[in-house]
Amino acid sequence: MVIPAVVLVLGLCLAALQVAGAQVRLQDAASVAARSLGRAADVPAFGPGLAGATVAVSRRGPLVCATLSMAASGPVGVLGLELRAESCALSEAPGG
């Protein structure tokens, strides 16, 4: 009786680590995208783990912001969890 409970808790812990890792990768990609947009360059392609990510670009005064979002994958994905990360960088364009 105890073994199934231990397996369930271990599975939930591994799923939480997977989601946390995906969130970190998404935040890193948002930072890279914001810096690229600030230099008026194209947004670089994301790695295979972020293939389904969407990018939304906004401006806030002299800042250009990139918001990335994607559905969580793996066992947590069936819950409909959406991961989201935002990063802003100073625009180097003359118009701000």
**Cα 19 to Cα 79: distance, rounded to the nearest angstrom:** 12
Range of the domain at 66: 2-90
Give this prediction's pTM: 0.83
Look at residue 64 and tell me if it is in a domain.
Answer: yes
Give the pLDDT confidence score for residue 94 in this predicted structure.
Answer: 66
Look at residue 96 and tell me if it is in a domain.
Answer: no
Look at residue 95 and tell me if it is in a domain.
Answer: no
Query: What's the helix, strand, coil split of the chain in %, to 5?
Result: 50, 25, 25
Look at residue 28 and tell me if it is in a domain.
Answer: yes
Q: Alpha helices, DSSP H only, in the chain?
A: 2-38
How many domains does the structure of the chain reveal? 1
Among 17, 19, 23, 37, smallest CA distance to 69 is for 23
Look at residue 47 and tell me if it is in a domain.
Answer: yes
Contacts of 84 (CB under 8 A, 6+ apart): 26, 67, 68, 69
Q: What is the pLDDT along the chain (96 residues), one digit of tens a residue?
A: 678 989 999 998 998 899 999 999 999 999 999 999 999 888 777 777 788 889 999 999 999 999 999 998 877 878 889 999 999 999 987 655
Give the pLDDT confidence score for residue 49 in this predicted structure.
Answer: 75
